[in-house]
Amino acid sequence: MLSIKRVPTVVSNYQKEEGGEAPEGGCGRNCLKSCCIQGARLPLYALKRVDKVAEKELPLLGCKEHCSVAFLDSLILGEWEERMQRGLFRYDVTACETKIIPGEYGFIAQLNEGRHLKKRPTEFRVDKVLQPFDETKFNFTKVGQEEVLFQLEASDNGEAQFSPNAPIDVENSPSFVAINVSPIEYGHVLLIPRIFECLPQRIDHASFLLALQMAVEAGNPYFRLGYNSLGAFATINHLHFQAYYLAMPFPIEKAPTKKITKLSDGVKVSKLLNYPVRGLVFEGGHTLESLANAVSEACICLQHNNVPYNVLISDCGRQIFLLPQCYAEKQALGEVSAELLETQVNPAVWEISGHMVLKRKKDYDEASEANAWRLLAEVSLSEERYEEVTALVLKAIASVDLSVKPQCAEEVDSVSSGTQPAMVAGSQQCLVLQ
């Protein structure tokens, strides 16, 4: 078994190393477990039915000046700010220094010492993407109800609905949106699908569709959702997505892509070019379900083949990045340089996307595009291994869409133009042990 000492971020004020059930009659923490949940009520937002992601009519990150604010967007921000006023966060993320690193891509550096200083150590395996849920370890049923912003579900009649004080239907296991008490950015929240089913950290079709619907309905291009698998720096084995607001483009969103294939249901699959982490990009689709199914099928393939990965849902759900990685595996095998290890940066979805959350003042002061590129190049699969994994993913998608037809290598779709830094090739294949 490969394992490394992990120091996971505390996402809840009730996160503990010890487990166990709460005593009869309530635990006194107003948690989400059976001891406290009876009779509890929380706001409920029902998502409207969206058959298709709207076509991109305005440049990426350009529509906030032209569009009205969606109710879901204002709900997230309003509830999050209310929790900030109540002092539920472990530090004030708005006081963290942030800067754009000079260079072609504009990597973003943030100095966030709070995430480094206020953590609890634990042992975490990195060699298994799929691991069973463990009730004795921290999970989201143990958080306090005050950390939950609202319940989220699909609307019965297809229209968006909101109830400010709805009962919690434990039997039907609602999905919750809660604060991350160790935020990376403004509005940092957790989406926890079907919370009372206690699902392990693995993507399924229904959970990914919910995350995509949330991105679409929030309607804010500054709001992105991310996912980290086990082995790719997820620290809690209870199904959840993360999301926050950042009012600038991520470097990964500006990287050029090359079209690989287009599915019969209209989903286009491309690969990233000239970016330090190799990955796939999914766009389009005749319906929202088409796009969600293609991505979730790809994620399920990676899970079954024990390949750690990260996902970024970008541009109001129009663009989805799937990023297999091997940094934790290299870390466990002693193949990461001491210089990179000393930064204590665990490159998960946000760092891979170009938002470098740094924990030491020294690293922040010395931040450069070359340093960011060097770290992320260690995250990426080798070219050979990436091609193997891509073939597995395309085969999995083809099993549910027999009309997949790979495009010629010359067909290129560039998201951005201009001279790009040369790709840094990794030397390791980083096949996770099975």
* Catalytic site positions: 240
Alpha-carbon distance of 36 to 22, in angstroms, equals: 9
Distance CA 214, CA 216 (A): 5
| 224/246 Cα distance (integer angstroms) | 8
SS3 for 385? helix
In order of 293, 305, 387, 416, the CA distances from 130 in angstroms are: 20, 10, 22, 36
The C-alpha atoms of residue 47 and residue 198 are separated, in whole angstroms, by 22
Which among 200, 191, 247 has a CA at the least distance from the CA of 45? 191
Between CA 246 and CA 356 the distance in angstroms is 12
Burial 246-273 (b: 16+ CB within 10 A, else e): beebbbbbbbbbbbbbbbebebbbbbbb
Alpha carbon separation from 19 to 16, 87, 139 (Å, rounded): 7, 25, 9
Helix pair 383-398, 288-304: axis angle to 10 deg: 130
For residue 350, with 0-12 CB atoms within 10 Å meaning exposed, 13-18 middle and 19 or more buried, which class applies? Answer: buried
> What torsion do the CA atoms of 195, 196, 197, 201 make, to the nearest 10 degrees?
40
**Any idea what the Cα angle at residue 79 is, between residues 212 and 52, rounded to 5°?**
20
What six digits make up the tokens of 302? 């990676």
CA distances from 295 to 137, 267, 270, 275 (A): 29, 10, 12, 20
